[in-house]
Amino acid sequence: MEIIKSQFAVALTLDIGIVTLDAGEIKQLYYIEDIFSYSMTGKIIFTDTRGIFELGPLTGNEWLYLEYGDTELWFKIYKLNKVDSISTAAGNVNVIEMFFAQEMFFLINFLQFSRSYGEDYISGIVSDIAQRYLNVEEFVEFEDTTNNIENFYIPYWTINTTLQWLMKRGIGVDSGEPGYLFYNNTAGTNFVTLDYLLKHGRTTPHSGPGSVDPVYKFHDEDPFYEDKILEWSISGIDLSSIKQLSGGVKRGYDSMRKKFIQNEFTYKDSVARQTILGRKSLFTDISDEKAGYDLIGETNEDGIDTVYHNQWHKKYAHQQCISLTVKGNETRLCGDRIWVWWPSGQSGERSEVWHKQLDGWYLIKSITHTFSGYANPSYKQKLVCIKNGYENPDDTDLLDSTKNFFM
Number of Cβ atoms within 10 Å of the Cβ of 363: 24
pLDDT in tens, 50-108: 888 877 677 777 899 999 988 999 999 988 888 887 765 556 788 999 999 999 999 99
Mean pLDDT of all residues in the chain? 88
Cα separation values, 229 from 52, 259, 322, 342, Å: 38, 56, 12, 10
Cα atoms found within 13 Å of the Cα of residue 241, Cβ hemisphere only? 17
Question: DSSP of 92-140, one letter per residue?
Answer: EEEEEEEEEE-HHHHHHHH-EEEEEEEEEEHHHHHHHHHHHHS-----S
Q: Which residues of 19-36 are buried (b: 16+ CB within 10 A; e: fewer)?
A: bebebebbeebbbbbbbe
**DSSP tag of 285:** -
Report the C-alpha gap between 31 and 11 in whole angstroms: 15
pLDDT of residue 88: 59
Is the distance from CB of 327 to CB of 379 less than 8 angstroms?
A: yes
pLDDT of residue 17: 84
User: pLDDT value at position 345?
Assistant: 67
Q: Are 296 and 305 in contact (CB under 8 A)?
A: no
Summarised one tens digit per residue, pLDDT across range 327-371 is 999 999 999 999 998 887 655 444 456 678 888 899 999 999 999
Q: Is 320 helix (H, G, I), strand (E, B) or coil?
A: coil
pLDDT at 192 > cutoff 60: yes
pLDDT value, residue 237: 76
Q: What is the rounded CA–CA span in Å between residue 232 and residue 375?
A: 18
**DSSP conformation class of 348:** S
Terminal-to-terminal C-alpha distance of the chain: 27
Span 174-192, average pLDDT: 97
Mean pLDDT for the stretch of residues 114-133: 96
Residues 248 and 73: their CA atoms lie apart, in Å, by 45
For 136-160, the pLDDT digits (tens) are 999 999 999 999 999 999 999 999 9
Across the chain, how many H-helices and E-strands are there?
Answer: 8, 23
Rounded CA gap, 342 and 392, in Å?
Answer: 12
CB half-sphere exposure, 82, CA atoms < 13 A: 3
The answer to whether residues 326 and 380 touch, using CB atoms and an 8 Å cutoff, is yes
Give the per-residue pLDDT at 322: 95
Q: Which residues pair with 78 in a beta bridge?
A: none
Identify the pLDDT of residue 221: 61
Q: Which pLDDT score is estimated for 91?
A: 65
Kind of pairing between the strands at 275-276 and 293-295: unpaired
Distance CA 62, CA 18 (A): 10
CA 219 to chain centre: 27
Contacts for 6 with CB less than 8 Å, ≥ 6 apart: none
According to the model, what pLDDT value does residue 2 have?
Answer: 43
| Amino acid 352: pLDDT | 52
Q: Which domains can be identified in the chain, with CATH numbers?
A: 5-103 (2.40.10), 111-196 (3.55.50), 204-407 (no CATH)
Contact 10, 66 (CB under 8 A): yes
Q: What is the pLDDT of residue 219?
A: 76
- The Cα–Cα gap between 254 and 368 comes to 45
**Residues 334, 337: Cα–Cα separation, whole Å:** 9
Using only the alpha carbons of the chain, give its radius of gyration: 24
pLDDT score of 372:
87
Tell me the pLDDT band of 261, cut-offs 50, 70 and 90: very high
Say what the pLDDT of residue 360 is.
87
Confidence check: pLDDT of 205 > 60: no
Q: How many Cα atoms within 13 Å fall on the side-chain side of residue 187?
A: 17
Check whether the bond before 343 is cis (ω within 30° of 0).
no
